[in-house]
């Protein structure tokens, strides 16, 4: 997400180095991307027919053949700068538990970040957490247009189509975004195990936060590690906040979900916390408040609307 990135004007190249082979950080890294070889960049899993759509924006670290490579090593691509480590595995299990539909974007966020408004500085990052991305430097307008057309719009069109499919039969779907965050950023430890981001509509975030807070061994982030009030990313802003669909965004700390026991544990935890609220038929309705930021006066969903996959 946004604060995993760094202003390209201040690159810190020293932090571009991957963990030493055999170090604890290196051993924890998953050995392979969570995608079948040769599979589509946008994957849709239908684990049931409930009007629940799970969204995993940063599921993989694929750099498509048409791009070749980004000029960074595969080891760097597999760090948190390239994808959301563990998020896809948790999302897959959660979809099964909830009998939901799940969408996965397997192209690396360094190709184009589907959770950023196109043509902003973090959309195709020139630098990410101190790591310079050589092939993202000084891209031509045409190259940026191609990345948007080929790797941004197809995912968002798929999301929009799933939402439209439910709405065409009179159902209001619930959107659940699953992300993960690096435990250390810019020299600071981030203590939260799970964060919930929200702004405006708390119909789902409120009860889920209440249940998470009952887990005494966990540190729960309420609008942490960063705040949904300030920046909610493109996906939830465009597909849920703008249209006032019920929604929630999870941020899971990556070191908790790098191996199967942690993945199982967090899928169960999220499922257990979500299920009572998802069982309430009143949730499946349009929010009657507004989702605008409470400070700053910036109407973020209008900016998101400049790039509508529906047009």
- Residues of the shown chain interacting with Zn ion in the complex, contacts defined by CB under 5 A: 58, 84, 179
Rounded Cα gap, residues 184 and 197, in angstroms? 19
User: Is the CB of 152 or the CB of 287 nearer to Zn ion?
Assistant: 152
User: Is the CB of 2 or the CB of 97 nearer to Zn ion?
Assistant: 2
Chain residue at closest Cβ approach to Zn ion: 179
Q: Return the HEC string of the chain.
A: CHHHCCCCCCCCHHHHCCCCCCCHHHHHCCCCCCCCCCCCCEEEEECCCCCEEEEECCCCCECCCCCCCCCCCHHHHCCCCCCCCCHHHHHHHHHHHHCCEEEEECECCCCCCCCCCCCCCCCCCCEECCEECHHHCCCCHHHHHHHHHHHHHHHHHHHHHHHHHHHHCCCCCEEEEEEEECCEECCEECCCCEEEECCCCCCCHHHHHHHHHCCCCCCEEECCCCCCCCCCCHHHHHHHHCCCCCEEEEEEEHHHCCCHHHHHHHHHHHHHHHHHHHCCHHHCCCCCCCCCCCCCCCCHHHHHHHHCCCC
User: Is the CB of 86 or the CB of 173 nearer to Zn ion?
Assistant: 86
CA nearest neighbour of 310 among 124, 114, 142, 159: 159
Q: How far is the CB of 221 from Zn ion (least distance, A)?
A: 14
User: Is the CB of 179 or the CB of 203 nearer to Zn ion?
Assistant: 179
Rounded Cα gap, residues 25 and 258, in angstroms? 10
Q: How far is the CB of 109 from Zn ion (least distance, A)?
A: 7
User: Is the CB of 58 or the CB of 190 nearer to Zn ion?
Assistant: 58
User: Is the CB of 166 or the CB of 267 nearer to Zn ion?
Assistant: 267
Q: What does residue 25 show for φ and ψ, rounded to 5 degrees?
A: -65, -35
Rounded Cα gap, residues 160 and 235, in angstroms? 10
User: Is the CB of 84 or the CB of 231 nearer to Zn ion?
Assistant: 84
Q: How far is the CB of 114 from Zn ion (least distance, A)?
A: 9
Q: How far is the CB of 177 from Zn ion (least distance, A)?
A: 8
Q: How far is the CB of 211 from Zn ion (least distance, A)?
A: 23
User: Is the CB of 84 or the CB of 255 nearer to Zn ion?
Assistant: 84
Q: How far is the CB of 197 from Zn ion (least distance, A)?
A: 11
């Amino acid at each position: 997400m946004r604060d995993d990135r760094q202003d390209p004007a201040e690159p810190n190249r020293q932090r571009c180095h991957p963990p030493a082979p055999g170090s604890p950080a290196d051993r924890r890294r998953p050995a392979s991307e969570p995608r079948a070889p040769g599979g589509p960049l946008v994957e849709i899993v239908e684990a049931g027919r409930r009007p629940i759509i799970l969204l995993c924006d940063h599921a993989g670290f694929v750099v498509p053949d048409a791009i070749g490579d980004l000029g960074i090593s595969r080891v760097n691509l597999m760090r948190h700068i390239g994808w959301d480590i563990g998020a896809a595995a948790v999302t897959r299990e959660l979809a099964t538990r909830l009998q939901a539909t799940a969408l996965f974007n397997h192209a690396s966020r360094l190709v184009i970040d589907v959770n950023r408004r196109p043509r902003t500085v973090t959309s195709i990052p020139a630098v990410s957490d101190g790591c310079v991305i050589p092939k993202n430097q000084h891209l031509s307008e045409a190259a940026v247009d191609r990345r948007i057309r080929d790797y941004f719009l197809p995912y968002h069109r798929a999301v929009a189509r799933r939402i439209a499919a439910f709405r065409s039969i009179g159902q209001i779907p619930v959107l659940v975004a699953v992300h993960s965050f690096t435990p250390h950023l810019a020299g600071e430890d981030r203590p939260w195990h799970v964060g919930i981001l929200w702004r405006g509509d708390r119909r789902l975030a409120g009860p889920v936060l209440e249940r998470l807070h009952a887990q005494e061994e966990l540190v729960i982030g309420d609008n942490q590690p960063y705040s949904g009030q300030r920046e909610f990313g493109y996906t939830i802003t465009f597909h849920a906040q703008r249209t006032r669909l019920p929604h929630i965004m999870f941020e899971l700390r990556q070191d908790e979900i790098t191996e199967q026991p942690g993945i199982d544990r967090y899928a169960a935890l999220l499922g257990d916390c979500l299920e009572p609220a998802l069982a309430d038929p009143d949730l499946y309705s349009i929010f009657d408040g507004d989702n605008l930021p409470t400070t700053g006066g910036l109407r973020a969903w209008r900016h998101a609307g400049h790039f509508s996959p529906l047009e």
